[in-house]
Structure 1
């Protein structure tokens, strides 16, 4: 929830139930965790926009633990640095998901699991909030094109200028219902009550939480199904009409963001 995007009442209820059941912070056991990856991750704090590592392909695996506002930069420079900030976290998170899917595929091919393997599977099912088969769990662990995620991040943060982004590494305006987790209060109130958004330890934590939200939420069942057949961002955004109270207008904004900024050119970028 931020100035540009607010969750629907149904989404709010679902998030609240999830928070009560697991504790929203506990849902992100893969988020913000310095897990082993094929490419070593460098954690970096920013002091000025000049500290942002310039974008290249392959992308350097940098996870920023703090950011600065990009609001005062010239528009073209602001957009380029914002993408350089976010794309590494997106690719690292997608790599984490790929590793988990690969391990899950290995388990699915076995007739019998060890105690440790079953414990890992049970934990992952709890994180994704599903009691279905491992095959159902596999469908929830979706990958998405870089252009789609960048477009949403740009809209939600105003290209890296929102207070939630700067003060909390919160890329998507994710609410917090757990008073024990790190969070900040929003300036707006909802139904007369204070609203909080989650504070992440790094941009990587925010991206991994984003993937988990899309993997858990019943509002994104169509998106998960579509992602199994296409990685075209202009196709997939049609299934994000429930992500925002703006509905189809939000989809149109994503469409314009991707096309106008030629974000699909980043879909081929890798670590």
Structure 2
């Protein structure tokens, strides 16, 4: 009787050890992927376990999986932007109602950091400067971000998404900063940037839209919507991405079609 009990205990412990070992193998991180097209890099550490979207054969399931994967990062990034925007709106309000308003050192530091991050040249805290900075410190609708990520990354299956966590086709111009496109023209020096995380990729993309001269029209559309107390929706902002692709109008039309066809998943 006693021997039978011990045997069962030993068997249970053995099964537990085997289960733990199996889980460690299945969820092993980090994954290091070596790519021959990376200049000046030996390996690219994948800090997030990227799902194998290419292995999902059902189209609807692949779309759902991709959007569910990237949505939390998009929401978190937009939430951070919204908090910084509210800080600026509060500052703007105080400046308007307080005759002798003086900004605190901590608020001025935060304002200066935002101005630098969003490439706003003036650190002066006045009505005009705050208004100009507010035109940059604003969200991009998550539906638009997600369909553009799907478009640029082939639903997360592109080489740049898999190896560089780059879901938006963002370029860089320092040797070794990313992956060399296999179809890059002779004499060109751009690379497709490699990111340490999905969140970093999303934050960089949003900053690009909020600062680069190519997307000034997008920011103007958004500002006009704000001034008229209208919703900043993806369909209104999509035309502002005209310069994101060489295809221009066709690219915008494709994004609008993707927004319409994927409403059930967004």
Structure 1 residue 106 and structure 2 residue 63: aligned?
no
Partner residue in 1 for 2:108: 118
On the 8 A contact 2:148/2:168 being kept in 1, the answer is yes
* Largest Rg, 1 or 2: 2
Partner residue in 2 for 1:51: none
Contiguous gaps of at least 5 residues in structure 2: 1-28, 32-46, 96-100, 123-128, 226-230
Q: Distance in 2 between matches of 1:213 and 1:190?
A: 24
Work out which of the residue numbers 153, 160, 174 in structure 2 matches 1:178: 174
Work out which of the residue numbers 118, 142, 149 in structure 2 matches 1:146: 142
Q: Distance in 2 between matches of 1:46 and 1:236?
A: 37
After TM superposition, the structure 1 = structure 2 runs for residues 33-52 of structure 1, keeping only pairs within 5 Å, are none
On the 8 A contact 2:178/2:192 being kept in 1, the answer is yes
Partner residue in 2 for 1:67: 50
- Report how many residues are paired: 205
Offset of residue 158 of structure 1: 0.6
- TM-score (normalised: structure 1): 0.69
Partner residue in 1 for 2:157: 161
Q: Distance in 1 between matches of 2:251 and 2:216?
A: 18
Q: Which structure carries more relative contact order (alpha carbon 8 Å, separation 6+)?
A: 1
CA-based RMSD? 2.3
After TM superposition, the structure 1 = structure 2 runs for residues 59-98 of structure 1, keeping only pairs within 5 Å, are 65-74=48-57, 75-98=59-82
The structure in which a higher percent of residues are helix is 2
Q: Distance in 1 between matches of 2:85 and 2:112?
A: 14
Structure 1 residue 223 and structure 2 residue 218: aligned?
yes
Offset of residue 143 of structure 1: 1.3
Q: Distance in 1 between matches of 2:77 and 2:48?
A: 15
Contiguous gaps of at least 5 residues in structure 1: 1-44, 48-63, 267-271
Offset of residue 142 of structure 1: 2.0
